[in-house]
Amino acid sequence: MNSMKRTILVLVLLAWALPSPRASAASPADLRQKAGEFITPLPERMKGAEADSKDKIALGKKLYFEKQLSVNGTISCNSCHVVDGKGGGADGQPTSPGAHGKRGDRNSPTVLNAGLGLAQFWDGRAEDLKAQAKGPVLNPIEMAMPSEGAVVERLSKQPAYVKAFTKAFPGSANSLTYDNLAEAIASFERTLITRDRFDDFLKGDDRALTPKQLKGLELFLGTGCTTCHQGPLLGGTSYQKIGLVNAYENTKDKGRENVTKDEDDRFKFKVPTLRNIALTGPYFHDGTQKTLHEAVGQMAWLQLGKKLTDHEIDAITDFLNSLTDKARTK
């Protein structure tokens, strides 16, 4: 046997003997225990849902899809946060076009499970779902209605809405108000809790994840992703600077500093949830990362200073696919 053949044989034997990059070295039980230190399953319902009646939820759903909440009747909440047709709660665009076609500066975050986060919008300027629902309707770039009064006046001309508000908010002399509109939309959004295979795994199902996804979870934990992506949402519970270790190229958007006026909040954004992340590309607050593969690699470099291999990124990305709502799996 010549030296070339001997070398090839040695390499083949080494490749056979070494663990596959797609197989986890840890057992499912060990990974479950480790993951459980940082991540918990999604709850059965969101805070505030106990006060949501069927009539309020039904009204909120109708309003969520109502294009008459935009100045020219062209867009609804669902236009930017698509939840029908297995939508991931976003619109799949870097930034969203408003009623007049002008685009905003930020990527549309998912509305799925959103009420479980610490606040709403990338910069946290709305404290909850109700406060968030009030913003886009009056935003001149988004739905562009001129005033709360104009919204109420438009809906008041429709008997079906007058009746629906009366049913949803009984005992009120004037149930059709802008405040109640936002509360109804929030009630519907509180129903948007998803169920995925990763939670099945956390609850004890060893077969819920594939071997490659188990390896991805192991890498996700070992790389340090849970520093920010933790809790039931795998994110959504803190604000972090983008470009913590290596600077991010987009320095135009100051992030949370625009809200707090505190220089310490410059370039800080709410950490996005990773639930249903495979459905919500493009990624980052500015929608610059086209694929999940790109986003994972960039995050590891920007936030942790780590250069992941393509195999490692592929495995982590495959794990992230296990966070997709089972009802929305394509």
The catalytic site residues sit at 142
Query: How long a stretch of residues is the chain?
Result: 330
| CB neighbour list of residue 128: distance below 8 Å, 6 or more residues apart | 48, 115, 119, 120, 186
Let me know: does 121 contact 108? Beta carbons within 8 Å.
no
Rg (CA), the chain: 23
**Cα dihedral across residues 130, 136, 42, 243: positive or negative:** negative
Q: How far apart are CA 162 and CA 148, in angstroms?
A: 16
Let me know: does 46 contact 236? Beta carbons within 8 Å.
no
Let me know: does 123 contact 255? Beta carbons within 8 Å.
yes
187, containing H or E segment: helix 178-189
Our measurement of the distance from residue 50's CA atom to the centroid of its chain's CA atoms, rounded to an integer in Å, reads 23
Q: How far apart are CA 317 and CA 12, in angstroms?
A: 28
Identity at 293, one-letter amino acid code:
H
